[in-house]
Amino acid sequence: MTTMRSRAIRLLLQGTSRRAYSGRAFLPSQALLNVTGPQHRRGDQMKWMAAAALIGGMSIVCSAQALNQASSRSIQAEELYLKPSYDRRELLKFIHRAVDDAPQDVELLWRLARAAYDVASLSTTLPDEKKTLTYYARDTIAKALDLDDNNFAVHKWFGIILSSVGDFEGSKATIANSYIVRDHWLRAIELNPSDSTSHHLLGRWALTIADISWLERQVAAAIFGSPPTATYAQALDHFLQADAISPGFWKKNTLMIAQTYLKMRDKAKAKEWVEKALTISSSTEEDNQVHKEALALLATL
């Protein structure tokens, strides 16, 4: 199966079509939480299924990390990645060629997995190609993890990519994977407590799990086994930690702080944070949508 995927990915990489790219300058990913496009609907009836798919509608901000031991190719790959105008498919091809020359380079491997994930997430990517790329990303990030269990970016992206695999494996596998996803993000924070994105990911995870009603949880437990638990307070803590590390780093994070306060019945704090969200400039389509959501929320407070 891995050999077939390798052949398929090589065929994809040989393609010459350039697809339109739009999204957050730092990260155009969609699949995990469907970040730059419309929310990805799994079609399941219960909120738990959406939670199992691990939270819809978010962009992941990725600041340039200190590449202490990174190869020149991985540094170049990161520079290209941070250019929103650079074609995601061309980036995937570039990193794939680099990995062919250095198959044990962990800094290249996790960037290759991220690049495959990003192309899989493009709205122009066809379903079969999306599946091939998603599994390729999973296999690649797993290899990176085998080579280096102490790289926070590897753990962060392992969680992100594994959560997207649930789109193809059904709800039971996704629920089981949700524990693994959470643990890898916790490990990412342990390795790099100053990474605001990892805190946001865990906040988003906790918020969605906390949203599951008692009845929905009982149904899910009866069908799939014991689902994970989380509270709004835990979600809020991670969102606030993310903002404390990088104040105002992400309009979406600020809005989610407001939304979480509202779920905790603290309207004063919710209003305070939604007003903060509205002061953050919008530079992407997602930011524009978040701004509209913030205005709508403020009108209710």
Whole-number pLDDT of residue 59? 39
Whether residue 190 has pLDDT greater than 70: yes
Q: How many domains does the chain have?
A: 1
Two tokens at 62?
């990725």
Please report how many Cα atoms fall inside a 13 Å half-sphere around the Cα of residue 55, on the Cβ side. 24
Asked whether residue 282 is domain-assigned, the answer is no
Is residue 152 within 8 Å of 192, Cβ to Cβ? yes
Whole-number pLDDT of residue 3? 54
Whole-number pLDDT of residue 299? 96
Full domain range(s) for residue 142: 2-249
CATH number at residue 91: 1.25.40.10
Whether residue 220 has pLDDT greater than 90: no
Please report how many Cα atoms fall inside a 13 Å half-sphere around the Cα of residue 70, on the Cβ side. 21
Asked whether residue 179 is domain-assigned, the answer is yes
DSSP 250: -
Asked whether residue 237 is domain-assigned, the answer is yes
pTM comes to 0.74
Nearest-CA neighbor of 65 among 4, 134, 126, 154?
154
Asked whether residue 228 is domain-assigned, the answer is yes
- Higher-pLDDT residue of 66, 193: 193
| DSSP annotation string for 194-214 | T-HHHHHHHHHHHHHHHTS-H
H-helix or E-strand spanning residue 108? helix 106-121
